[in-house]
Structure 1
Amino acid sequence: MEQTKILSETYTLTNGIQIPKIGLGTWFIPDDEAEEAICNAVKIGYRHIDTAQAYENESGVGKGVRACGIDRKDLFITTKLAAEIKSYEEAVEAIDGSLEKMGLDYIDLMLIHSPQPWADFRGGDYADGNREAWRALEDAYKAGKLRAIGISNFQEHDIENILSTCTIKPMVNQLLVHVGNTPSNLIEHCRKHDILVEAYSPVAHGEILKNEELSRIADKYQATIAQLCIRYDLQIGTLPLPKTANPAHMLENAKVDFEISQQDMEILRSMEPLKDYGEFSAFPVFSGK
C-alpha cells in the first residue's frame, strides 16, 4: 500500500519515543461504534489513535485496541485529562480512571485537554490548577502509567506557566491547525521548546471542504481537499489527526504521499481565516471562547 506509507512514518518525542506521523481522531465517534472504527483503522494501517475523557468513548477505544489483532506495543494511544480537572487529587483519580475504562496497562500519551474548563475557555486564571494537573501527569509518567505527557489548546503564556515549575517538559501541544488557521507564532514557540504540535481538525470539521480555491489547488495534485489539508499540516511539521469512522475516508486521508509546492504552501498558509465552522461554531475550540 505504497500510497499510505505515511502511516509507517514517525516523529520522535523529546524522550526518544516514536509517535506515528498521522493519527485517527475519534471526537464524535460514539462509544458503541469506537471498537469497530479502531479495528477498521488498524486494518488500513493506522497505529495512532487519539481519544479523550470528554469524548466519552475511551471504553470503546480500549475494546478496539484489544480486539484489533495488533500487538499493544505497536499501537500509540492518546487520551486527554478532562479540561475541568484542575487539582492534583482529581487528576490522579482521572488518570487511573482512563486506564481502567480503556482496560490498558499504560497510555502512550496523555494531555491536559485545555488550560481552562470548557465553560470558561480563554477566560479566568487556572495557572495553579494547570501546574497541579501537570504534576499528576509527571507522577503517572514516572510510575510508567504514561509513556509521554503533553498539553492541548495551550497558548504561549500557558506553556510558560507549566515550564516554570515542571520537572518534565511537555512533549506535545495539540492545537487547532488547518489551512486558514495556522498559529505560526505559537507553533514556533512550541518548536523552540521541542514540543511537537499535533493538528486537530485538519479539515476544519469539514467546513473547509466547500472552498473553491482549495478545490482548484487540490486538483493540481490529483488530490481531494481533505488530502491537501492533511498534507499541508504535515509539511508545516505538525501531526494531523483527521477524525472519521468511515473506512473509505480513513484510507483517503492516509493517501498523502505527494509534495505541495512552496508557492502553493504560501497561498495555503496565507488563506483567509475561516470564520464560520457551521454547526460546530458553538464549540469553544472553534469560537475561541
Structure 2
Amino acid sequence: MAPSAVPTVTLNNGVEIPQLGFGVFQVPDDETAAAVTTALETGYRSIDTAAIYGNEAGVGRALAASGLPREELFVTTKLWNADQGYDDTLRAFDTSLSKLGLDYADLYLIHWPAPARDLYRASWRALERLADEGSIRAAGVSNFQPGHLARLTDGAQLIPAVNQIELHPGLQQEELRSFHAEHGIATEAWSPLAQGAVLGERVIVDLAARHGKSPAQVVLRWHLQLGNVVIPKSVTPTRVRENFDVFDFALTDEEMGALAALDRGLRTGPHPDELN
C-alpha cells in the first residue's frame, strides 16, 4: 500500500502528522535500524523515538539508508526528565539531532512533566525557541495531565501541538481527550495495544473474527476512528506489516460503542503525577 494512503492529522500550527506511525520503545539500538527499515519498506513514514530509548542513532542509520527524501519523513524524539530546564533542553536537543543525523526534527516532546522537578515550563520556553528557529516543525508534550497542560500554557507563546499519552481500550483518557479537543491539541497514543493486555478481551476477539482481522488491527482501527495519532511498536516484520494493514475496513458506531465499554483505568506505565 502506498504510504500516501495513511491519513494525516493537521496540527494546530498547520503541520501534518501521519495518523499511523512506528514506535521504537524498548528496541535495542543494534536492532533498531532493521526494525525501522522494515517499517519504511512497509509504508510507514512517521518514526517515534526518544533520548531515553537509547536508539536515536539506530533510527538515524535507517533513515539515512532508506534513500527517502527528508520531507517525506516525520521524525519525533523526546526530551528526557534529567535534561529538563532551559539550557539543558537546548543541549539535549542538539545531542538528539546529532544522533539522528538530521538538520531538524518534525516533532519534539517533553517526555514527562516530572512535576516534582518543576522544570517543564522552562523546558517549554526552550521548545518555543527551537520552533521559532525552525529546528523543530512542531513542539509538544507527552504524559501531561490537564493540570500540567493548564500550567504549561499559562503565558506561553505556543500551545502544544501534541500530547502523547498512554491510551488504549483499557485506558481511554476521556477527560484528557476532551481537554485536548477544546484546546486544539492532537491526541497521540503510546502503548496503543496495552502491550497486548487488551487483545484477549471477548469483544475485541469477536470483532476481529467478524472483520477477518487480528485483535490488534481492530484496536488500531478504533484509535484511527477516534481521531488519535497512533504509534504501534514491533520488531517482528509480519506484525509491523499487519499493524499497517488497517485501512480496508471500518468499525460501526455500535462496534465503537462496544469498545468504549472496555475502559477500566488500566495503566501499563507509570502515572504522570508520580514519575519524576
How high is the TM-score relative to the length of structure 1?
0.90
Alpha-carbon displacement from aligned partner over 1:165-220 (angstroms, at most 9, x marks no partner): 21111100001111121011110101111100001111101222222331012211
Deviation at 1:72, TM superposition (A): 1.1
Distance 2:155 2:127 in 1: 13
Q: Specify the alignment match of 2:36 in structure 1.
A: 38
SS at match of 2:137: coil
Which residue identity lines up with residue 128 of structure 2 in the other structure? E
Q: Is the 8 A contact 1:106 1:144 kept in 2?
A: yes
Cα 1:285–1:61 change in 2 (3 A) is farther
Is 1:284 aligned to 2:267, yes or no?
no
2:226 is equivalent to residue 228 of structure 1: no
Choose 254-263 or 47-56, whichever is displaced more.
254-263
Cα RMSD of the aligned pairs, angstroms, is 1.9
2:145–2:272 Cα contact (<8 Å) kept: no
Task: Give the match for residue 68 of structure 1.
Answer: 66
How far apart are 1:39 and its partner, in Å?
A: 1.3
Measured after TM superposition, the shift of residue 137 of structure 1 is 0.8
Does the 8 A contact of 1:6 with 1:22 survive in 2? no
Distance in 1 of aligned mates of 2:151 and 2:109: 15
1:1-289 matches, cutoff 5 A: 1=1, 6-7=5-6, 9-116=7-114, 124-127=115-118, 129-257=119-247, 258-273=249-264, 275=266, 281=268, 283-284=269-270
How far did 1:54 drift?
1.0
Q: Does structure 2 conserve the Cα–Cα contact (< 8 Å) formed by 1:53 and 1:82?
A: yes
Q: Deviations over 1:119-177 (max 9, x none)?
A: xxxxx5444x1110001111111111111110000000100111102111110000111
Conservation of the 8 A alpha-carbon contact between 1:38 and 1:68: no
Which secondary structure state, in structure 2, belongs to the residue aligned with residue 208 of structure 1?
Answer: coil
Name the amino acid aligned to 1:265. Answer: M
Alignment-mate amino acid for residue 99 of structure 2: K
| Paired positions, count | 274
Could you say which residue in structure 2 is the equivalent of 1:119?
none
After TM superposition, give the deviation of residue 269 of structure 1 in Å.
Answer: 0.9
Q: Is the CA contact 2:142–2:163 (under 8 Å) kept in the aligned structure 1?
A: yes
Aligned-residue offset at 1:14:
1.4
Distance 1:210-1:21 versus aligned 2 partners, 3 A rule: same
Query: Does the residue aligned with 2:83 lie in a helix, a strand or coil?
Result: coil
Distance 1:274 1:210 in 2: 17
Q: Distance in 2 between matches of 1:66 and 1:5?
A: 20
C-alpha distance in structure 1 between counterparts of 2:4 and 2:125, whole Å? 37
Distance 2:5 2:163 in 1: 21
Report the 3-state secondary structure (helix = DSSP H, G, I; strand = E; otherwise coil) of the residue aligned with 1:250.
helix
1:71–1:247 Cα change, 3 Å: same
User: In 2, are the aligned partners of 1:176 and 1:285 still within 8 Å (CA)?
Assistant: no
2:143, 2:272 within 8 Å by CA — same for their partners in 1? no
The residue aligned with 1:121 is none
Q: Mind listing any 5+ residue stretches in structure 2 that lack a counterpart?
A: none
Q: Distance in 1 between matches of 2:162 and 2:13?
A: 11
Question: Which residue identity is paired with 1:145?
Answer: S
- Farther-moved stretch of structure 1 (265-274 vs 217-226): 265-274
Describe the SS at the equivalent of 2:105: coil
51-60 or 33-42, which deviates more: 33-42
Q: Does the Cα contact within 8 Å between 1:6 and 1:254 map onto a contact in 2?
A: no
SS for the counterpart of 1:67 is helix
1:58 Cα deviation after fit: 0.4
